[in-house]
Amino acid sequence: MLYLSGREVTSLLEHGLDQTVTAMQEVFRLIGKGQYALGGALKASHGLQLKYRVQDETALYIAMPGHLGGEQQLTGVKFHGPMNAALSPERESNYLVVLTDAVTGEPLCLMNANALTAYRTAAVNILAADYLSSESADTLGIVGPGRINTLVALGILERHPRIGKVLVLGRGTASLKAFVQSVSARYPEVKVQPAGSLQELVIQSAVISIMTGFKFKEVADMPRIRAQWLRPCSAVLCGAFAYFPESLLTGNCCLICDLFDMYRSYRHELGEPAYSKLSYLGNKLADLVASGRLPREEIHDLSAIISHPELISRPYPRLFSGGGLALEDLMLAQILYKKALAQGIGTALEYE
């Protein structure tokens, strides 16, 4: 068994964002063919949650097992916690991936997955932008200029050279300044500037990536997207908590999820309505479908859009919910494991 440290994983990921996007495309190709397995009653669960109290705080750990079939034949589990900055000040959650042999279950690789998680999350949004954004997209809007959205911006600008302007909105001056510096250094020809408000950013942007995290006291504190702000064919990539009015979701828009059954699973696991407990856009859609206020056929998985882009041919805004799948982590982990073996990186551990 091979162990890869955080430093080693980061070095393997360096300059590998395009490769990560390609890996995510393979994940969704296999999802579209049904060649995958996840846990839970619907076989689509994000993961098993474990909660407990420690040092007067709540710790939340999540175990995310998964299997990709087809040509990949990989199995493993991602594990992370405590999802609480009071318990883990340096990093709210620490991520770990274990890859195993898909037949024997023998562990192949144990790796630090902190950087891996950031890369795969960004890559899914970049991939979604490839399929959901308009060819004439000229402005990128970034809501939440942290590490993940910095990667998102760099990846989208690389793949969509018509974009000449980036508007960014954040809650802290340090992250905003770091974002502007990173993007401007890579793409000096692109105009990068702070937005005066969320309304201004949404109205002007053809592609919008929302990565503002999951810590809001109430729904009213989340980014609130209004229908009248959205441009025709704009793409809203939402990998964090946000509020979309029901009138928008049941009106003229295209609704896309990474895996809609995952959000249906949340209703079983967390209770109903799921959105009030975990405010992903996908959970809002699952609640609306369950209540009969939104037809199920109005929602498409990203894998279906990749195979059938005509499903979003109407000139409506495209709203994408990304909640994170173990399949994404495992696919990227396998690529890094193979690279590490080829380059002689990592520490061999005895399993027997």
Q: What is the mean pLDDT of residues 215-230?
A: 83
Query: Sorting pLDDT into bands at 50, 70 and 90, what band is 222?
Result: confident
Q: CA 165 to CA 233: how far, in whole Å?
A: 18
Ranges of each domain in the chain: 2-117+327-348, 131-323
pLDDT value, residue 154 = 98
**Residue 187 confidence class, pLDDT cut points 50, 70, 90:** very high
Distance between CA atoms of residues 143 and 136, nearest Å: 21
How far is residue 230's CA from residue 120's CA, in Å, rounded to a whole number?
27
Superfamily of 131-323 according to CATH: NAD(P)-binding Rossmann-like Domain (3.40.50.720)
pLDDT of residue 240: 92
pLDDT of the residue at 70: 95
When pLDDT is averaged across residues 310-333 and rounded to a whole number, the result is 96
Q: Hey, what CATH class is 2-117+327-348 in? A: alpha beta
Mean confidence (pLDDT) of the chain: 95
pLDDT tens column, 110-135: 999 999 999 999 999 999 999 999 98
Share of the chain above pLDDT 70, in %: 98
Q: Is the pLDDT of residue 216 over 70?
A: no
* Residue 200, pLDDT above cutoff 80: yes
> Partners of 168 in the beta sheet?
142, 194
pLDDT tens per residue, range 229-253: 999 999 999 999 899 999 999 999 9
- Read off the pLDDT of each residue in 28-35 and give the average, rounded to a whole number: 97
- Inform me whether the pLDDT recorded for 214 exceeds 90: no
Q: In this predicted structure, what is the pLDDT of residue 236?
A: 98
* pTM of the entire predicted model: 0.95
Please compute, for residue 298, the number of CA atoms within 13 A of its CA located in the half-sphere on the CB side.
Answer: 20
Q: Are 240 and 211 in contact (CB under 8 A)?
A: yes
HEC string of the chain? CEEECHHHHHHHHCCCHHHHHHHHHHHHHHHHCCCEEECCCCCCCCCEEEEEEECCEEEEEEEEEEEECCCCCEEEEEEEEECCCCCCCCCCEEEEEEEEECCCCCEEEEEECHHHHHHHHHHHHHHHHHHHCCCCCCEEEEECCCHHHHHHHHHHHHHCCCCCEEEEECCCHHHHHHHHHHHHHHCCCCEEEECCCHHHHHHHCCEEEECCCCCCCCHHHCCECCHHHCCCCCEEEECCCCECCHHHHCCCCEEEECCHHHHHHHHHHHCCCCCCCCCCHHHHHHHHHHCCCCCHHHEEEHHHHHHCHHHHCCCCCEEEECCCCHHHHHHHHHHHHHHHHHHCCCEECCCC
Q: Which of 83-92, 100-109, 161-170, 224-233 has the lowest mean pLDDT?
A: 83-92
